[in-house]
A and B are shown apart, each in its own frame.
Chain A
Amino acid sequence: MSSAETETTETEDAPAKDEARDEVLALIKARLGDAVVGEHLIPGVDLWVRVSVAEWGAAARHLSEAGFTFFDYLCAVDWSLSPWGKSEEAVATPVAMPADPKDLEHGTTGGETRFQVLARVYSPQRKIGVHLKCDVPDDSLTVPTWTDTYLGADWHERETWEMYGVRFAGHPNLRNLYLPGDFEGHPGRKDFPLLARHVKPWPGLVDVEAMPGEPEEEEGATTDGEAEA
């Protein structure tokens, strides 16, 4: 589900109460109980729920029974930082990264591990979607599968496996989806280099010129930093 802004013309600071999503959150908490370790609700916008990894499969079952029969997608997020900087420019001087995954900046609903699995399901009756997250244990990198509840999770989990190396316990056929069989590495991870950028770095980020009357920005100006077409 999507929306642009919570503010309406009447109220400025107080967002409207989102009863539908509140009810959904209450329902999830009622069914999952302790498994819910984090939540984030933006009224009128979206709802995120973080569950513990042991109950990941059960969460899918509960939601599917509660009317969230539409499977949207499943993916993973790697919260570590790229060792070469965001645009992989600083190849010579690697960027320092916190050693403990708990110190990484996680997004909404927090987190404690390097990888998190993110999934979304939608309820055709309520017309509301829910984002589910769970931490992937750093040692085993394994998460229960959703394929017994949602058939569509098959391909999504295969893609998550090949991009991030996250295993899904119980998946019938966990093999590469996109990449050739002899591809080494998991490209989605932040420490997978884009070698073309290391060989020949991108000449400039943004073409920086002040608007007439505006002060100069901080970033250094480049001569030929044009976007490619």
Chain B
Amino acid sequence: MAAPVTERQHGYISSTLAEARVNLEIETEGMTLNIGPQHPATHGTLRIVVKLDGEQIVSADPAPGYMHRGYEKLCEVRTYPQVNTLVNRLDWLSSFSNEVPFILAAEQLMGIEAPPRAQYIRTIFHELGRIANITLFLGEMGLQLGAMTALFYAFRDREHVLNLMEAVTGGRFHPNYDRIGGLKDDLPKGWIEETKAAMKKIRDFCDEMEGLVMGNEIFNARTRGIGVIPQHIALSYGLTGANARASGVDLDLRRDDKDIAMAWKHADFKVWTHPDGDSFARYWVRLQETRESTYIVDQLLDGLPSGPIMAKVPRIIKVPAGEAYVETENPLGWMGYYLVSKGDLGPFRCKIRTASFNNISVVPWVCKGVYVPDIVTILASLYFILGDIDR
């Protein structure tokens, strides 16, 4: 044992130590984390290669393509009715909405328009698809953040809408109901009353979600201020739908596109925007939109004209040569089909502009510097469907 440290030595040692501030830069290697392709938080098979520095993300690089089925090539070798069947499966939650722009593009090239009753029913189904899609989102975003109850409610209330679609078309989703020139069948008896009752139930569901999920303070803490996308970025990346409207971009093709052969111009509805641009805003906008959709359906049902549901079209459809592009406001965003026809039985080139493709291309930009749990929040709030991204 050394000689006991005197008071003076003690003071000398401690003052030297205090000055010798050794700053050890603890070198940690950044970690590359693979989120997906099989992961409960990605809706399907999206893989995001994330480079981490501790808990913060340095770069996030989505690698889509695990559901790439080659739609554009497949459309070139199929006839128009076959393409219609195939195209249902892009945004597989609101399948009818995928058929609509394709059929409208083909009708534009043929120079025909569906009869008014068919246009109304198409619009009603488009809105029903929106309700079916977004109710699942409202429940699923809760699930992603850990609130499983919301998902069960969502599945339960979605069944009402799926029943309606099945009553008319025979398919719960993938109705394959639209035809060039009109629709396949007319509405069955009693459907209108059932739809109005179902819309009331959906409105109750929205109120429930508003209190249950949006009113929850954990939800608020996890989503407010997370994943803010400013307006100019939203426009530059081509974000559409609720993602754009939640950033304050006031774009809604249902209101802006006056020439489209659908019945939105006959309904009076409000377009909801939110200035914040964060994840909470995206949830909020979608919830309001669902409620607004129920009002649209009610109005259109009240004003439903009678008449034929199919225009006069030849048995074998040959669309004249030309190019047409039709875009509609689908639940996920803007979906459009660029149809190049050479007068054949099927398209020559069918470029499918899907909403989720642009919506997810913003992920590298928005995920810089966020924490790992927030990436789940951001992905959940951007809301994509893999079939829509990967086609």
Contacts and interface: CB of A to CB of B under 8 A. Distances in A.
Interface in B97-118: 101, 104-105, 107-108, 111-113
B316 A70 contact: no
A176 B65 CA distance: 9
Contact of B238 (A131, A152, A163, A229): A152
A187 B101 CA distance: 25
B208 interface: no
Contacts of A214: 315
A4 B259 contact: yes
Contact of B328 (A2, A150, A178): A2
Nearest to A155: B361
Given A2-B325, A177-B65, A75 B236 contact: no
Contacts of A227: 81-82, 85
B235 A69 contact: yes
B353 A73 contact: yes
Interface residues of B, number: 64
A72 B108 contact: no
Interface string A168-203: 000000001111100000011010101001000000
Interface stretch (B23-31, B278-286, B344-352): B344-352
Interface string A1-14: 11111000000000
Interface string A29-47: 0000000000000001110
B108 A3 contact: yes
Nearest to A192: B73
Interface in A81-98: 82, 86-88
28 contacts: A3-B108, A3-B326, A4-B113, A5-B112, A5-B259, A45-B108, A70-B251, A71-B238, A72-B336, A77-B349, A86-B344, A86-B345, A87-B78, A118-B351, A120-B353, A124-B235, A127-B256, A129-B327, A155-B357, A155-B358, A156-B357, A163-B72, A178-B64, A178-B65, A178-B68, A180-B65, A187-B70, A228-B85
Interface of B: 64-65, 68, 70, 72-74, 76-79, 81-82, 85, 101, 104-105, 107-108, 111-113, 232-233, 235-238, 249-251, 253, 256-261, 315-316, 322-328, 334, 336, 338, 340, 342, 344-346, 349, 351, 353, 357-358, 361-362, 365, 390
Interface of A: 1-5, 44-46, 48, 69-73, 75, 77-78, 82, 86-88, 105, 107-108, 118, 120, 124, 127, 129, 131, 150-152, 154-156, 163, 176-180, 187-188, 190, 192, 194, 197, 205-206, 208, 211, 214, 217, 219, 227-229
